[in-house]
Structure 1
Amino acid sequence: MNTWSTQYTFTPFALSTTDSLPDLAMINLSDWGMVTLVGPDSKSYLQGQLTCDVVSLSADKSTVAGHCDAKGKLRTIMRVFHYQNGYGLVQRQSVMASQLPELKKYAVFSKTEITQSSAIILGLTGTQAQTTIDSHFNGDADVRHNDTATAIKVDNARWLIITTAEQADSVITNLAPTATLTTTELWNLYDIKAAQPRIDNTTELEFIPQAVNLQAVDGISFKKGCYTGQETVARAKYRGINKRAMYIVTGAATQCPQAGDALERSVGENWRKGGTVICGYHYADDQAIALVVLPNDLDDDSQFRFATTPDALWHKLDLPYDLNAE
């Protein structure tokens, strides 16, 4: 039950592999949170912390970005956009307790106030999502504002909606009163099909950005100045030190793969650890799909399994983007 909602209830949406996605769904993204930065030094401060080029980010766009440690390992992946008088950073709630203090670590030397927001984050998805946004927000930008909410375009079928606890019910009533109201699992499915990387607390500080395809979703600028972890990220690009990538895999399953779970791969007649789950989705007909970080030199016909269900073999699916594109 959502503590902020007095009018609406969000329930899991049972979906089999043969079902179509809802034409319009409103998703309670309670496992996502937002950090805000306000102050004259916010832009330059983020420029020195994140993998994206914050300086060139216009007010009508958003971008994916990573925040790394000094060794280039990801603390989090976030969506960055101009918000109110500063910036909004949407990321997984599970990393907040460990990542936010690191983001704040050097802020004492800059004029920026970094705060975990109490905003409500909703997702609007489906073939009718764009039309719905166009009907309630002026303009054609990828980041739009009205009196009650901010809308951020994720892709052609998805928008993030940022609002307050006081306004959330009325936003749903006005924006999408006939939408299917559901929980974060549907958003996870969209992320998996789009091969959109994320970091949870179970995978924090495990991967460099290229190991989860951050460069393929325009989350890394190789032309900006220095930022935390840049040396490792640049070396992975120019010296080819990265040996992993994130893939979509699917197979039979009785439960949903969880972030941090280990996937085994076949090596001849033997099995060994092959990769780490980033995000999973379990269908109602006992099939599942997941994002998994694997070695990037595996054969296309490689087989995979979870040790808990050794008879259920999994295989890779095609990615929606080219990992080798410049």
Structure 2
Amino acid sequence: MSSSLEGTCALTHLGAIRAHGEEAARFLHSQLTQDTVLMRPDEARLAAFCTAKGRMLASFVVVARDPQDFLLVTARDLLPPTLKRLSMFVLRSKVKLTDATADVDLVGLAGSAAAPSEGLAPWQKREAGPAQVVRLYPADGVPRALWIAPPGTPAPAGATLTADDWAWGEVRSGIAPVTAATVEAFVPQMLNYESVGGVNFKKGCYPGQEVVARSQFRGTLKRRAFLVHAEGVLRAGQEVFHGGDPEQPAGQVALAAPAPGGGFDAIVAIQLSATQGGQLTAGSVDGPALTLLPLPYALLADI
């Protein structure tokens, strides 16, 4: 795998849910951790869909194509159950939810290929002909973007990145999406979503809102997401152990990818106490040793 994150990647592991109708914005507003009613035309949103206990069932990049037409880009393996569950809450709302995966091409852009998003802040978007481009968080300073376009629309020119290349960039950005391996494993703050624009604490109710708010404002959050490196293989869903308490896991791997220089990099959600010293390992107390790395952004509580 190339050590240079430069080029384009067809994001076949992602899909899209379409929410269309005169009450689409208000419906999504009532279900997600983000404000969709006040979304500006130049904005996208990182958002989570949670259980009543605040556990994340899915995460999305939410894009408004017009005031009544939204796309929710999410993990393809989670799309069917997520669409089914969201549809349970439609009731009499004037909104239609459909699987729009076949209606769009989703391409990741990195380095110079992300030029169509130049000048945008993370989660801002702009039109690029028939396409929409959303600025993502960078990976080690390398700009990244999400390209959403009708099928067959030419994406920006660039070398072809592999799925592992893109996944490594996702890890290095510090933002872990929910996948099938991590469904209901985390409340949003365990993945630092409140620090990267994934939670709006001023909006109204949504499933799990009380738990999410209580975690933020009552100091009950005991786990955060951190970057780690290991010489052994890591994978999403693995438990993380701390040498000081080998009988029970201290956290879980949220996202992992092969590192260009060898080994694996990962985002792990672990107990804050486990970061204060002692050995961290993945899979078991005898598993690959984890080395903590600096986060690429400041945590909201630390600002």
TM-score, length-scaled by structure 2? 0.88
| Matching of residues 1-326 of structure 1 within 5 Å | 14-15=1-2, 19-22=3-6, 25-84=7-66, 85-117=68-100, 118=102, 119-126=104-111, 128-132=112-116, 142-155=124-137, 157-165=143-151, 167-168=152-153, 171-172=154-155, 175-176=156-157, 179-253=158-232, 255=233, 257-267=234-244, 270=246, 272-283=248-259, 285-307=261-283, 310=286, 312-323=288-299, 324-325=301-302
Change in CA separation of 1:43 and 1:264 when aligned onto 2, cut-off 3 Å: same
**Structure 1 residue 147, shift from structure 2 partner:** 4.2
**Structure 1 residue 277, shift from structure 2 partner:** 1.0
Show CA shifts across 1:43-89 (max 9, x none).
11011001111122111011211111111111111111212551111
The one-letter code matched in structure 2 to 1:88 is L
Q: Secondary structure at the match of 1:235?
A: helix
**Residues 32 and 90 of structure 1 are in contact (CA less than 8 Å); yes or no, is this contact kept in structure 2?**
yes
Show CA shifts across 1:168-211 (max 9, x none).
4xx03xx21xx111232222112211111211112111211111
Show CA shifts across 1:110-157 (max 9, x none).
11111111122111111x1343556xxxxxx93222444221111351
What root-mean-square deviation, in Å, do the aligned CA atoms of Structure 1 and Structure 2 show?
Answer: 2.2
What CA distance in whole angstroms lies between the structure 1 residues aligned with 2:45 and 2:29?
13
**Structure 1 residue 297, shift from structure 2 partner:** 2.3
What CA distance in whole angstroms lies between the structure 2 residues aligned with 1:301 and 1:289?
19
5+ long unaligned stretches in structure 1? 1-13, 135-140
What CA distance in whole angstroms lies between the structure 1 residues aligned with 2:29 and 2:161?
36
What CA distance in whole angstroms lies between the structure 1 residues aligned with 2:251 and 2:96?
38
- Identity, % of aligned positions: 25
Change in CA separation of 1:311 and 1:46 when aligned onto 2, cut-off 3 Å: closer
**Residues 266 and 272 of structure 1 are in contact (CA less than 8 Å); yes or no, is this contact kept in structure 2?**
no
Kindly tell me the number of residue pairs found equivalent between the two proteins: 291
The one-letter code matched in structure 1 to 2:134 is I
**Residues 59 and 81 of structure 1 are in contact (CA less than 8 Å); yes or no, is this contact kept in structure 2?**
no
Larger radius of gyration: 1
Change in CA separation of 1:313 and 1:133 when aligned onto 2, cut-off 3 Å: closer
Change in CA separation of 1:27 and 1:195 when aligned onto 2, cut-off 3 Å: same
What CA distance in whole angstroms lies between the structure 2 residues aligned with 1:306 and 1:297?
17
What CA distance in whole angstroms lies between the structure 1 residues aligned with 2:276 and 2:4?
27
**What is the aligned partner in structure 2 of residue 7 from structure 1?**
none
Structure 1 segments, 4+ long, off by >4 Å, are none
**Structure 1 residue 93, shift from structure 2 partner:** 1.0
Moved more, 284-293 or 307-316: 307-316
Q: Secondary structure at the match of 1:273?
A: coil
What CA distance in whole angstroms lies between the structure 2 residues aligned with 1:184 and 1:318?
24
The one-letter code matched in structure 1 to 2:136 is V
**Structure 1 residue 291, shift from structure 2 partner:** 0.6
What CA distance in whole angstroms lies between the structure 2 residues aligned with 1:88 and 1:27?
20
What CA distance in whole angstroms lies between the structure 2 residues aligned with 1:284 and 1:197?
19
5+ long unaligned stretches in structure 2? none
**Residues 303 and 313 of structure 1 are in contact (CA less than 8 Å); yes or no, is this contact kept in structure 2?**
yes
